[in-house]
A = this chain, B = another copy of it.
């Protein structure tokens, strides 16, 4: 490393699935890697809903980036916030004024919530993207039961015990299932004035079926599982208003007559858009983000006419074989990260470029509740217990890659046997608490 020759500098922005796999693909290669992230950890987002419902602790699904990359001696981790690019000068600009030079740039800052022009809904309907989102939703869900226990007003109680999940995709289905289980099993005997099992969980989905990305037969199975758990699913139903105490919805694909659902608890699982850095990069590169704020990329994941600037993962809009952008899934990001790392290595070594990026679709899974999931892979479709075991296996395998996550497995096993959720803590209102103490 101190041989005097300036190595090819790769800067990676974002330590999610795409960025991390890119960094790991550059291990032991003749490059200097700088991984920049605002947070000091890699987050396993697919399990955030478990934190939001008290099943796991934040540290169970987050690994310090420095820890993951500690043995990768050509890589340094830099905690910082990027707010600009000078692609001509090959520099990344940090908020604190520092410029970080690069030869190749990989941007993988993912996605954030998308309220479709209704940003005022965010305060009432938090989404689920960060650790703080998850502990905030946990605080709200648990606090709702606490307030209901103390209320003497039947309407107020019903409102507090009604949970509306906007969006029937994997996140929405998982959240709804987990809240219902929390109430029905974990906290069943915890209260004296209310029966937690009387809580209502409602999924509002704009399309005609839940899990729209899956085969129709699996959507039907998921719907049946949800109904069996006592979860109400409103299909073809559009949300038109969200406030502190109710949600207004329009049925029949938005053409029916609007009606009101009284609720104190709304979780947003409906839409995501590219992170704000996408727009800044697109402008710098002379391209335009799509309607979901994603950066259109070429077939080799580069941006515009910049052969050394890559975007991977949720932030990229990569046209699949059907002409539609690839979905915002962890496997897409991981494969793109690996692809780009290999492409950079070939370029640095002077080898001929590989072919275009091809997404190998190994399938997808969604869990609904205790021992219930659906999955499809290479033409096969699974559901029920066997799909749930598959889901468990794949998630534990992934977590095990970065750190020994045997603890997560123990925690799950324990939760499964006892129906307990140990992380049911209402935390995080530090300043409010300090004031009132």
Residues of chain B lying within 8 A (CB to CB) of residue A414: 404, 406-407
Mark contacts of A123-142 with chain B using CB atoms, 8 A cut-off: 1 yes-contact digit, 0 otherwise.
Answer: 00000001110011000001
Shortest CB-to-CB span from A408 to chain B, Å, is 10
Contacting residue for A427 out of B132, B403, B422, CB 8 A = B132
Q: Which of A399-437 contact B (CB under 8 A)?
A: 403-404, 406-407, 410-411, 414, 418, 420, 422-428, 430, 433, 436-437
* Chain B CB within 8 A of A112 CB: yes
Of A58-66, A317-325, A348-356, the one contacting chain B is A58-66
A81 located at the interface, meaning its Cβ lies under 8 Å from any Cβ of chain B in the complex: yes
Q: Which of A70-78, A163-171, A230-238, A378-386 contacts B (4 or more CB under 8 A)?
A: A70-78
Contact between B191 and A422, CB atoms less than 8 A apart: no
Nearest CB in chain B to that of A411: its residue: B407
| Number of chain A residues close to chain B: CB under 8 A | 62
- Interface-facing stretch out of A21-29, A36-44, A172-180, A282-290: A36-44
* Cα distance A76–B70 in the bound complex, in angstroms: 49
A52 vs chain B, min Cβ distance (A): 13
Which one of B41, B275, B433 contacts A437 once the chains associate, using CB atoms below 8 Å?
Answer: B275
A240 to B: closest C-beta gap in Å = 25
Q: What's the least CB distance linking A169 to chain B, in Å?
A: 22
Across the interface, which residues of B come within 8 angstroms of A433, CB to CB?
A: 38, 130, 132
Expressed in whole angstroms, the Cα–Cα distance for A95 and B432 within the complex equals: 14
Contact A420 B192 (CB under 8 A): no
Q: Are A40 and B70 in contact (CB under 8 A)?
A: no
- For A59, give its contact among B38, B66, B423 (CB under 8 Å): B423
Assess the A41–B425 pair: CB atoms within 8 A. yes
Residue pair A437, B276 in contact (C-beta under 8 Å): yes
A80, CB-defined interface residue at 8 Å = yes
**Known: A78-B150, A422-B59, A427-B131. Contact between A190 and B70, CB under 8 A?**
yes
Question: What would 19 A/B residue contacts be, using CB atoms closer than 8 Å?
Answer: A38-B437, A41-B426, A57-B60, A58-B423, A66-B190, A66-B191, A67-B424, A70-B189, A70-B190, A71-B189, A78-B149, A80-B150, A131-B427, A136-B430, A275-B437, A407-B410, A407-B411, A407-B414, A410-B410
